[in-house]
Structure 1
Amino acid sequence: ISHFLHIDKQLLVAVYNGYSQHFIPIWNAQAITARYIKNHPYLFFLGNTDPKKNTARVLQAYGIYLKKSSQPLPLLIADLKEEIIDEYLNREGLQEIKKMLYHPGYIPNTELPAVYSGASVFIYTSLRESFGIPILEAMACGTPVITSTTSAMPEIAGPEGILVNPFEPEEIASALLHLEENAEFYQSQTAYGLERVRRFSWENTAREILNIYKEILA
C-alpha cells in the first residue's frame, strides 16, 4: 500500500463544511436567553466533558479575566452539568468564581442563535477540532470568537481571527480583555466574522463535491 502514501498535492481539494442558515443575528435575543442567564451581556463557552474542549483552562482563564476586568461579565457554560463544573472548580482551586457562572445544561440547537447573539464573546479554545462549526455559527450571529492556534481552527477562523494558544490561560484571558477594552477592535471582529462566514455554506460544500465528481467522470 506504499503507493498510496505519496499523493500529488495538486490532486487534493479542500471541501469545507457549512453551517445551518438559522444562525443569524437575533436582535431580541434576551427573550430567549433569559431562560438560561439573567445578566446581559455575557461570555459564552460551549463545553462538554471531552478533554479536547479544554474546560479546565477556560475556567482558569476566566478566573484571570475576573481579576483584571474593570466590568467583568458572567460566563454562560452550555452542555455541562453543575456537578461536573464543581469538580473542575475544586480541582483548580477556583471555587470563588462560581458565583459568576451560569450552567443551564443542554441548550437546544434552535435556541443557540439567540444565545450566540446575546453573548459578548464566544470562547472556543479547544485543544483540537477536525473543523469547528461553532466558530462559523457564532460569527454568523455577529459574535466575536476567540479560538485556538491548533489543528483546523486557524484555517476556519481565517487570517483576522483571534487565535490563542489553548494551553495558556493567560492568552485566553488577554484576548477577552482586549475585546472588552477596545471598542474599535470589537466592532471590527463583528464585521469580520459576518463577512468571513459568507464563504461557508452547505450549498457551497455540495457544489464543490459535484464539481469534483464532474472532473473525475470527465
Structure 2
Amino acid sequence: MNLLVNAVPLLAIPTGIPRYLRNLYGTLQALEGPESVQVFCFDGKRSLRGLPKPVEPGPWTRKRTLLEKIPASLLLGFRCARWWAYEQSLRWISAGRRYDLYHETGFVPAAQSHLPTVFSLYDLSLLRYAETHPRDRVLFFEMYMKRRLHHATHILTISRFVQDEIQDLFRWPEGRISAVPLAPDAVFSPRPADRVVHVKKRLGIPGDYLLFVGSLEPRKNLWGLIQALRICRSHIALVLVGWSGWGEKTWLGEACRHLGQRLIGLGFVDDELLACLYSGASALVYPSLYEGFGLPIVEAMACGCPVICSNTSSMPEVAGGAARLVDPRDPEDLAAAIDHVLESSQYRQELIRKGLARAARYSWERTARETRAVFEKVLEEARS
C-alpha cells in the first residue's frame, strides 16, 4: 500500500497532533507483515519518503507568537490561500496514480477525487468550544468543513466519545467511521528517584509539586485550576509545562499574584525531561473543558504519576477508572480532589497502581495495527 499523508502538521513542535502522527507512522513502518505500508509525506509542494525532521522548538514558537499579533481577517486570508495552493498541488500529485490512499491529517478534508481519503478528525472543539480557539482557525473551519466533508471516504478518530459526536452532528454513516485510541510514547516510564531529584534541582523546583502539561490555551481551563489552588489546604507548587498557546492570559497575572513563587512555568520541554517531571509530581492536574483524547493523562499514568482530570468529554473513557475525576467548572470540587490526593498516601498509591495498569493497555503497536486495518478496509472497498 502506497500511502500519501498530509505532513503539514508534522512541521510543528511535537504536541498532540504531530506527536500522534510521528508515533503512528513510525510504528506503522516498523510493523512486519505481508501488507507493508509505504509512507509518502506531502508538505504541500512535494512528496517525500519518510517523516520530516522535527522542528526546533525555539524558532517555531517565536514564529507562532508573531502570527498571534496579526489580525484574524488577514490570517484567515493567508490560511485560505495556503489551503487553495495545497489542494491544487495535491490534485496534481495524486492524479499520477502512484498512491493508493490519502490520509488527511489537517482540519478539513482536501478537495481531491483521485484517491480514497481517510480523514482524521480528532475532536469537535472548533464547533463545541469555538470561543477557545483563534478566530481565524474557527472561521476557516466553518467555511470549509461542510463544503469539504463529502471528500472523506472514511473518518478516523481517537475515542468513542468523538465518534459518537461526529455521528450525531454530521449524521455520518456508522460503517464509515472508526475510533482508534492513542498511546503514551515508549519514553514515558517511571524515572529513578535520584534522576528526578537532579532534574528538580536543575529547574529550581522546591519540594513537592503539582504538574500541568499542555498548551496554555483557554480550553485547558487553567483559570479554574488557579481558583482551585487558592482554596486548597495545601500550599504546594504548580509546574506548568507547554508552549504559550493562544488567547488572553489574564489568568496568568492572577496566578502570579496569588501563587507567587509557587508558580513555575517551564515552557516546552523535551520528552526525557517531561518523563522525569511526571515521575516526580505529586499529581498531574488536567482540568480541561474538552478533549478528543488527552494524551497527558496516559503519559502521566505510564510514569507512575497520579492523575486528576475532568469528568467531561473523552477523559473518563481514557482514564478508565484510574484517575480522580472532577467537574472542571467547579473549583471547590477540584480543590477537594487535590487535597485528597495530597493528604492520603493510600489513595495516591491506589491511583498510581491503577494508572500504571491503565496505561499498559494502550500501545502504539495496537494503534498502528488498528489504523492499518482501517486503511486496508477503505482501500478494499474502493477497489471493489
TM class by shorter-chain length? 0.7 to 0.9
The one of 186, 189, 211 aligned to 2:351: 189
Q: Is the counterpart of residue 151 in structure 1 residue 330 in structure 2?
A: no
Per the alignment, residue 132 of structure 2 pairs with none
Per the alignment, residue 59 of structure 1 pairs with 226
SS at match of 1:39: coil
Segment drifting more, 33-42 vs 136-145? 33-42
Per the alignment, residue 49 of structure 1 pairs with 216
TM-score when normalising by structure 2: 0.50
Give per-residue Cα distances to partners, 1:4-34, cap 9 Å, x unaligned.
83534x7754211112100000012121232
The one of 367, 372, 378 aligned to 1:210: 372
Q: Is the counterpart of residue 75 in structure 1 residue 242 in structure 2?
A: no
1-side partners of 2:258 and 2:217: how far apart?
24
1-side partners of 2:227 and 2:249: how far apart?
13
Per the alignment, residue 258 of structure 2 pairs with 96
SS at match of 2:229: helix
1-side partners of 2:263 and 2:257: how far apart?
10
2-side partners of 1:135 and 1:164: how far apart?
14
Higher relative contact order (CA 8 A, sep 6+): 1
Per the alignment, residue 180 of structure 2 pairs with 15
Please list every run of 5 or more consecutive structure 1 residues that lacks an aligned counterpart in the other structure.
none
Amino acid at match of 2:321: P
* CA spacing shift, 1:41–1:60, aligned 2, 3 Å: same
State the superposition RMSD in angstroms.
2.6
Q: Is the counterpart of residue 129 in structure 1 residue 295 in structure 2?
A: no
1-side partners of 2:172 and 2:253: how far apart?
49
Amino acid at match of 2:303: C
The one of 305, 319, 332 aligned to 1:170: 332
2-side partners of 1:56 and 1:178: how far apart?
21
Q: Which has the larger radius of gyration?
A: 2
SS at match of 1:123: strand
* CA spacing shift, 1:33–1:99, aligned 2, 3 Å: closer
Per the alignment, residue 39 of structure 1 pairs with 206
Amino acid at match of 1:182: S
Per the alignment, residue 26 of structure 1 pairs with 191
SS at match of 1:26: coil
Superposed displacement of residue 100, structure 1: 1.5
SS at match of 1:29: helix
Give per-residue Cα distances to partners, 1:37-76, cap 9 Å, x unaligned.
33122111124331101111111111111xx23xx32111
1-side partners of 2:219 and 2:284: how far apart?
17
TM-score when normalising by structure 1: 0.84
Give per-residue Cα distances to partners, 1:158-195, cap 9 Å, x unaligned.
12421111111111111111111221111010000000
* CA spacing shift, 1:44–1:117, aligned 2, 3 Å: same
Per the alignment, residue 109 of structure 1 pairs with 271
* CA spacing shift, 1:47–1:7, aligned 2, 3 Å: closer
- Count the aligned residue pairs: 208
